[in-house]
């Protein structure tokens, strides 16, 4: 099998031989200071008259950095990751929450409690009325962006059910709340179904590869349609063929050797760029966690927090324009560390069970994984603001059709800072007025005035400032740049 990033065949664009050679190359060069310096230089953001540009790294270059163990070079990797994050995403952090629709599943994934042969987990599928109640509860917290999750089950969770759910979610207007972007995390499907999802107005289509290592993949997915490695790995191509131009990649770290997964992940991003002209919109970095019947120590490739931080930083250097997501699988300390290294989206107040948001206590009976960060959304918002981040509830790009390569070109020309920054401030002001605690309001409005001062374009600054005043005085215009 030849390596060909432009091929439509999974085993050619995620080529095992190329990954193995990459790992050998990375091993041979992990102490090659001259090469490492060259790669670091390539990764550094460069200032131009219209802002910063970054060239990104190939999977081979990025793999060398991931293998490097020279302390001062590793520190440099972290420093550059932080510079890239600030250059393209600023100090904004996009907020979202998962919404579990159904845990019925016909697959046999060994690391997931929803697998078909788990007979003691409670099975549940939300009705449209229950979805409405969940969405109201999420809106009452202040969420505007959801990621819907459902197991694969053509009888219980057919595409029509997913489409109806999306329609229900978008239709609910409750007080000042509205869900403005529904991202979808469902099993690999057909071009026709992806087209239907696109027509339903989804944001990003997210599908974790779990592992790029085919042999392990087949063992970890012994039964069900997900067993088909090629069908799963080629899903993003079908999604893009169906018109979805924002796709989200991710691997479940801990299942296989992390260096292998890392190279595969970057190759997947290269493939999307080579074939569709646009790389992944987001990359998620989940690690295997404890859940009903799932013991993470049973998977012997678990990674330490230090390695996890290094992986995050190296992804940041390799694909500088791609958003990076961390969920509540990770605790506060890990999230704090990773935020500096490139993460641009976090979830808050998450419930990972079906119907969990309408329960006063976090239910465990239908949970997909154990949540490590159990703080409320307002706690997370306050925490982010205190550490100098701007929690953003903005969904303007999606609403204005700035998706796929249009979003990427905004990002690549540095313009994201001129429109996303004021949008983040306005949406944060709305959140604070509608849902913020007294402490969040105090810290938040002080942060907003400091951040307004940083806007250099006088027209943008004055429009944003006057909108924020209006928001404070309950005079909403729903204006976004
Ligand atoms: S990972 Fe997804 S496909 Fe696999 S068992 Fe869990 S819900 Fe089903």
Of 188, 208, 226, the one to substitute when testing ligand 1's pocket (max ligand atoms within 8 A of C-beta) is 226
Nearest CA to ligand 1 atom 7: 151
Separation between Cα atoms, residue 375 and residue 193, nearest integer Å: 36
Question: What is the crossing angle of helices 416-435 and 404-412, to 10°?
Answer: 110
Q: What is the pLDDT of residue 410?
A: 66
Q: Checking DSSP bridges between strand 390-392 and strand 145-150, what pairing results, if any?
A: unpaired
DSSP-derived 3-state class of residue 465: helix
* Each residue's pLDDT tens digit, 321-368: 999 999 999 999 999 999 999 999 999 999 999 999 998 777 777 888
The overall pTM is greater than 0.75? yes
Tell me how far the alpha carbon of residue 188 lies from the centroid of ligand 1, in angstroms.
11
Nearest CA to ligand 1 atom 5: 115
Name the one residue in this structure whose structure tokens are 């204006």.
479
Query: Ligand 1, closest atom to CA 106?
Result: 8
Tell me how far the alpha carbon of residue 266 lies from the centroid of ligand 1, in angstroms.
23
Q: Is the pLDDT assigned to residue 93 strictly greater than 90?
A: yes
DSSP-derived 3-state class of residue 399: helix
Query: Ligand 1, closest atom to CA 187?
Result: 3
The residue among 458, 460, 456, 457 whose CA lies nearest residue 479 is 460
Tell me how far the alpha carbon of residue 264 lies from the centroid of ligand 1, in angstroms.
21
Separation between Cα atoms, residue 422 and residue 425, nearest integer Å: 5
The residue among 7, 32, 54, 101 whose CA lies nearest residue 342 is 54
Name the one residue in this structure whose structure tokens are 């490097």.
68
Of 113, 187, 222, 286, the one to substitute when testing ligand 1's pocket (max ligand atoms within 8 A of C-beta) is 187
Tell me how far the alpha carbon of residue 302 lies from the centroid of ligand 1, in angstroms.
20
**Residue range 394-411: average pLDDT?**
73
Q: Is the pLDDT assigned to residue 416 strictly greater than 70?
A: no
Q: Is the pLDDT assigned to residue 415 strictly greater than 70?
A: no
Q: How far is CA 13 from CA 128, 282, 307, in A?
A: 40, 19, 26
**Residue range 110-123: average pLDDT?**
94
**Residue range 213-232: average pLDDT?**
98
Residue 284 · residue 325 · CB < 8 Å: yes
Question: What is the crossing angle of helices 377-386 and 438-453, to 10°?
Answer: 40
pLDDT confidence tier of residue 163, bands split at 50, 70 and 90 = very high
Nearest CA to ligand 1 atom 2: 151
Tell me how far the alpha carbon of residue 151 lies from the centroid of ligand 1, in angstroms.
5
Separation between Cα atoms, residue 296 and residue 358, nearest integer Å: 28
Nearest CA to ligand 1 atom 1: 112
Tell me how far the alpha carbon of residue 108 lies from the centroid of ligand 1, in angstroms.
7
Q: What is the pLDDT of residue 400?
A: 73
**Residue range 371-393: average pLDDT?**
96
Residue 232 · residue 239 · CB < 8 Å: no
Q: How far is CA 395 from CA 382, 437, 451, in A?
A: 20, 23, 19
Nearest CA to ligand 1 atom 4: 109
Residues 6+ apart with CB under 8 A from 20: none
Rounded to the nearest integer, the mean pLDDT of the chain is 94
* Each residue's pLDDT tens digit, 182-207: 999 999 999 999 999 999 999 999 99
Tell me how far the alpha carbon of residue 186 lies from the centroid of ligand 1, in angstroms.
9
pLDDT confidence tier of residue 292, bands split at 50, 70 and 90 = confident
Tell me how far the alpha carbon of residue 90 lies from the centroid of ligand 1, in angstroms.
35
Residue 464 · residue 396 · CB < 8 Å: no
**Residue range 70-78: average pLDDT?**
98
Of 102, 106, 114, 251, the one to substitute when testing ligand 1's pocket (max ligand atoms within 8 A of C-beta) is 114
Residue 104 · residue 95 · CB < 8 Å: no
Of 98, 103, 106, 109, the one to substitute when testing ligand 1's pocket (max ligand atoms within 8 A of C-beta) is 109
Query: Ligand 1, closest atom to CA 368?
Result: 6
Residue 3 · residue 224 · CB < 8 Å: no
* Each residue's pLDDT tens digit, 229-239: 999 999 999 99
Tell me how far the alpha carbon of residue 358 lies from the centroid of ligand 1, in angstroms.
23
HSE value, Cβ hemisphere, 13 Å, CA-based, for 158: 2
Tell me how far the alpha carbon of residue 221 lies from the centroid of ligand 1, in angstroms.
9
Residues 6+ apart with CB under 8 A from 115: 105, 107, 108, 109
Tell me how far the alpha carbon of residue 149 lies from the centroid of ligand 1, in angstroms.
10
List residues near ligand 1 (CB under 6 A): 105, 107, 109, 112, 114-115, 151-152, 187, 226
Tell me how far the alpha carbon of residue 427 lies from the centroid of ligand 1, in angstroms.
34
Query: Ligand 1, closest atom to CA 111?
Result: 1
Query: Ligand 1, closest atom to CA 103?
Result: 7
Q: What is the pLDDT of residue 480?
A: 79
Query: Ligand 1, closest atom to CA 210?
Result: 1
How is 232-283 classified by DSSP, letter by letter? HHTHHHHHHHTT---EEEEB-BTSS-HHHHHHHHHHHHHHHHHHHS---SEE
Tell me how far the alpha carbon of residue 102 lies from the centroid of ligand 1, in angstroms.
11
Backbone phi, then psi, for 288, in 5-degree steps?
-60, 135
Query: Based on C-alpha coordinates, what's the Rg of the chain?
Result: 22
Q: Is the pLDDT assigned to residue 299 strictly greater than 90?
A: no
Structure token digits, residue 308:
């996890």
pLDDT confidence tier of residue 150, bands split at 50, 70 and 90 = very high
Q: What is the pLDDT of residue 129?
A: 98
Least confident of 125-134, 364-373, 457-466: 364-373
Q: What is the pLDDT of residue 297?
A: 80
């Amino acid at each position: 099998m030849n390596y060909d990033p432009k091929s439509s065949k999974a085993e050619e664009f995620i080529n095992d031989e190329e990954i193995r050679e990459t790992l050998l190359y990375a091993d041979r060069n992990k102490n090659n200071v001259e090469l490492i310096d060259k790669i670091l230089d390539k990764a550094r953001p460069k200032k131009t008259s219209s802002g910063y540009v970054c060239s990104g790294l190939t999977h081979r270059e990025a793999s060398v950095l991931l293998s490097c163990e020279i302390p001062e070079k590793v520190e440099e990797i972290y420093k550059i990751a932080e510079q890239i994050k600030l250059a393209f995403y600023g100090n904004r952090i996009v907020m979202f929450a998962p919404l579990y629709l159904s845990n019925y599943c016909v697959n046999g994934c060994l690391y997931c409690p929803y697998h078909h042969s788990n007979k003691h987990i409670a099975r549940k599928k939300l009705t449209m009325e229950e979805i409405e109640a969940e969405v109201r509860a999420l809106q009452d917290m202040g969420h505007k962006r959801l990621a819907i999750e459902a197991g694969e089950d053509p009888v219980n969770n057919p595409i029509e059910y997913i489409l109806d759910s999306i329609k229900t979610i978008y239709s609910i207007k409750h007080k000042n709340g509205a869900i403005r972007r529904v991202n979808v995390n469902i099993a690999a499907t057909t071009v026709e179904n992806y087209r239907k999802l696109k027509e339903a107005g989804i944001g990003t289509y997210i599908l974790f590869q779990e592992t790029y290592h085919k042999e392990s993949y087949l063992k970890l997915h012994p039964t069900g349609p997900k067993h088909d490695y090629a069908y799963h790995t080629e899903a993003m191509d079908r999604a893009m063929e169906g018109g979805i131009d924002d796709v989200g990649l991710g691997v479940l770290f801990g299942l296989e050797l992390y260096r292998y997964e890392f190279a595969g992940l970057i190759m997947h991003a290269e493939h999307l760029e080579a074939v569709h002209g646009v790389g992944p919109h987001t990359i998620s970095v989940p690690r295997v966690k404890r859940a009903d019947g799932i013991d993470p120590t049973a998977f012997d490739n678990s990674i330490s927090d230090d390695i996890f931080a290094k992986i995050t930083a190296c992804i940041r250097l390799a694909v500088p324009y791609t958003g990076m997501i961390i969920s509540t699988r990770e605790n506060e300390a890990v999230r704090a560390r990773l935020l500096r290294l490139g993460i641009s989206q976090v979830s808050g107040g998450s419930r990972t069970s079906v119907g969990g948001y309408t329960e006063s206590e976090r239910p465990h009976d239908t949970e997909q994984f154990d949540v490590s960060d159990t703080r409320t959304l307002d706690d997370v918002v306050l925490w982010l603001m205190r550490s100098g981040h701007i929690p953003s509830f903005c969904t303007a790009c999606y609403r204005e059709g700035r998706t796929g390569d249009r979003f990427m070109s905004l990002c690549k020309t540095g313009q994201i800072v001129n429109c996303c920054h004021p949008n983040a401030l306005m949406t944060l002001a709305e959140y604070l007025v509608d849902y913020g605690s007294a402490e969040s309001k105090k810290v938040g409005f002080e942060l907003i005035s400091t951040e307004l001062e940083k806007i250099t374009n006088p027209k943008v600054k004055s429009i944003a400032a006057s909108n924020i005043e209006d928001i404070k005085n309950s005079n909403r215009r729903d204006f976004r740049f």
